[in-house]
A and B are shown apart, each in its own frame.
Chain A
């Protein structure tokens, strides 16, 4: 059973939304902070009774399980890029640990009455690592690059950017961000930070952005060696007084988990992400502390609904699959009993997802009888065979697929597992060249990121399920995207999720825990919901 706090999000979420509305009221007329705020804790947080006095100094060595490849600020698709560059850059706004919106390089903002532009007031006196002061020109340059990232960035990330048109510099510290249309996703996108760091104007001409960074963040990058490490030193003139806590940070690339485990044991590194089996093996080590938390990376079964008629084009078959899969068994067998049920919006993503209670008792309840009845109603009692494609690494994808395969035997579905190397899988996935897919989703800046793909104008829709039609869903998604008021937005998305949980063009499975193991001298680290190592830059200090 999971002792992750994520299932109880609604309470926390409501609290933070209220906080936010209060803040919004303080900002001014029509200035309701965009509804893309996700409140609620993803990570398990424990209150300590006495806050220990923070000790400054020291160098932390953290191991990354994937090489950042490059640390360019824009156009990077890999999460690992942000792991590498995160400590050096800030965005206009940021999330706190619970994904609440907070000012960062912008201290306040006003949303225009027509909601097609936002005026930001920049924080004064912020210095980039090269000494230059932050002003409007830098923001303008940054947004231009967001919309057209040069190499090594990929222009495909522009699809992640909400419809920005550009930035007008109104004065040294005031800028106006112009939008194509009303868009509730803006603040989430900016707070996520991954695609929206603020860099000094002209950065791409000044340094090799693939290997270096100049930002405003708490640590300044000394250099990045591919397949080796990223080196950071403290930024003494960081705009948050009293930070950073440490002198230096080294992010070492160690893709092999056994190497990370060995290094943790030996004290050669101070922390790293490990698998649940790895965490299990390390939990008895007295020098190490195991941290865990949920992230947005839930596992999902994807169907293609297109072309020649297939048994699962009938919604009852998909529903049967849903009820025939015992998610708790997957959690127990593959993930050592740690994990949550997940719909298409992962648990812990603010107030948006359906609750665990709802999922477990109703929408995703394991019910073989019901499944069989549904198959019979659809005329599929004899069953059928289907190919399920998934990643060949990491291994848990195949493990989950194996469990599903054995579970679906009970309703006579013969699953053939096709494990593909990531390149092939990605190619097929992108073009919709698969029958069923087992994959993982990831973080989004805004909840629309999980639902937009059911919209007929979206490429995924066209490639995967062009035969799926539900006008109510489409309307809900369209409305949700332009409703900035979170109070009004929430019911729209709840309704959309309920509809989609019934139609099941994609089937949410489980949300897995992420485990990070740290040396006991590391204080203030937590498993961040957005899958970054945000603690390292914001809250971590070393007790020895």
Chain B
């Protein structure tokens, strides 16, 4: 083996992100925290550029462990963009005495490495390593608000449930290996094809497949494996909730898409009904429970469940078209969700009343994240109102926003497969979704409330505007993005 075959040097984003994470840890020893945020953003930009260096080519890296192609680059681009936006909304961390921004940023970058592995894995070992890197990072970040009981509780819950799901995932991988003798996706796919044709029992394979899928469905919070989601999303600091509900979900769906399309497309008939049932359950539970939330943040948690449902529709209608559909949906969903959490953080931070009056905020339900907190927001803060309104419209799938086209593409992928009943449920549930998304809009524009003008840092403002503009641009010109894939 010589230096020429040192192919890992081309696997730039993973290496760059790992190294820059370490660099950030050491940057944290600096007295001033001012440098951390720009440095993180710079690293992310470099990784983003490096990601697209290989555009148009297809490579296998690390002895066929990781695949890089255009689709993987698109997904990686989406998670990098989402992280960039989340990080740029984190300016207040530098002022927080208890926070450890250097470590948080480093963990975010490390977790991205996991996400990228999940996006491009060719070997189930890689999938497992990626899932673990991402999950462990999330456990930590969920509990990062150390003085807050709810944050601690959420972290512990997430860890316990996550460990349980990881066990199932690992069990599935083991069974698959037992059945097929291979960890490689294409190897498993070949087995599925040949064994189906040859007849005979494939029970071990099927059980393994189910276990693996259930493990992954847990990670993307599909019902009935979603129970952790509301508690964890609600308990975690909003910044990391935004990260979890976008990056983790995108990576999870990229992984599901990959394994379903490469390994299990040969046995589509076997799994699609089960997946469809999961989809319907997810849509029902996510949307209907979201209606009855008083807290905006908790509503967003259920909303993320319901969006997992819509994304699952794209998987149920698995075809060539569902790849760009899921990528587009992830992007649209990430943009709106991050913008919405960005506004939420501003609003919640500007309501110091609760902590002052009730003192101990650890036991207090966070009323500053309720719908009421948004009352009359748009009057004094038209920009924030507009950003939030566009995000909500996009999440609800109203035309002229990116969310509409995301839903449209995903639905048409399923319609091609003839899953009409699934679409009926999905469309009904989108109608339910409009109700709870519009509650915020109504609160902002039509309710009376005593909101002062909220000071927004320039960069924060730019990111919010950029997300909104991008949402609208993708809504008007979906083909701009589609053309890439």
Please indicate whether A and B come from the same complex rather than being unrelated chains. Answer: no
